[in-house]
Amino acid sequence: MRALITILIISLGSIKISTCPEPPRMNINFQYDGSIKDVMPIIKSYLEEQKYDIIHYAPESGFILTDYKLFKLNTGKVYLSLSININDLVVIVGMGKYEIVTSGIGNPDDILKMKSVDKLPYRLQKKIFLPIIGGLEDRGLKLVKTRR
């Protein structure tokens, strides 16, 4: 009986219980009217207006890649890069980096570190990634609602 209780306690202790849901991936899909060649300049002009540095623009394959853009928020520096692939849908995938404070043991120069993620915390996504939806909807693209 004692062994059974011990196994039960160990089993319950090994289960990961979290009240915080995992943040969603930074992925937005849009429908568009026309051809890829019609929508590429619209997206490119939006990115340039928002001060994204486009490092790869391939209208023949419907692909745009931006460099990391710096956002200075109250919580620290956050960087966002966008990968945009246009086929049947416009698929925008965000890649982020943000500063995390590392304290304790180690080199004092390494107190701030950059963490690269494809899922920024949702509070950061609301500030820097989700506003893209409104900007592109204003230009005629239609958001495709996806389940997360």
Q: Per residue of the chain (148 residues), what is the pLDDT tens digit?
A: 777 677 767 665 666 555 556 777 789 999 999 999 999 999 999 999 999 999 999 998 999 999 999 988 877 788 899 999 999 999 999 998 887 666 655 666 666 666 666 677 888 888 888 899 999 999 999 999 875 5
- Domain assignment present for residue 4? The answer is no
- Domain assignment present for residue 16? The answer is no
- Domain assignment present for residue 7? The answer is no
Looking only at the bridges linking them, the beta strands covering 27-31 and 63-66 are unpaired
Count up the domains in the chain and report the number.
1
Can you give the residue range of the structural domain that contains 52? 21-144
Q: What is the four-CA torsion angle of 37, 39, 44, 46, rounded to 10 degrees?
A: 160
pLDDT of residue 144: 93
- Domain assignment present for residue 41? The answer is yes
In the block, tokens 């390494």 appear at 110
pLDDT of residue 101: 63
Q: Which residues contact 36 (CB under 8 A, 6 or more apart)?
A: 59, 62, 86, 87
pLDDT of residue 112: 60
- Domain assignment present for residue 86? The answer is yes
Overall pTM > 0.85: no
Closest CA to 24 of 123, 127, 109: 123
- Domain assignment present for residue 89? The answer is yes
pLDDT of residue 63: 96
- Domain assignment present for residue 40? The answer is yes
Query: How far is it, in rounded angstroms, from Cα 55 to Cα 84?
Result: 12
- Which domain CATH number covers 37? 3.30.530.50
Structure tokens at 121: 């915390």
Question: 124: part of which helix (H) or strand (E)?
Answer: helix 122-128
- Domain assignment present for residue 9? The answer is no
- E-assigned strand segments in the chain: 27-31, 54-58, 63-66, 69-73, 76-86, 90-101, 112-117, 142-144
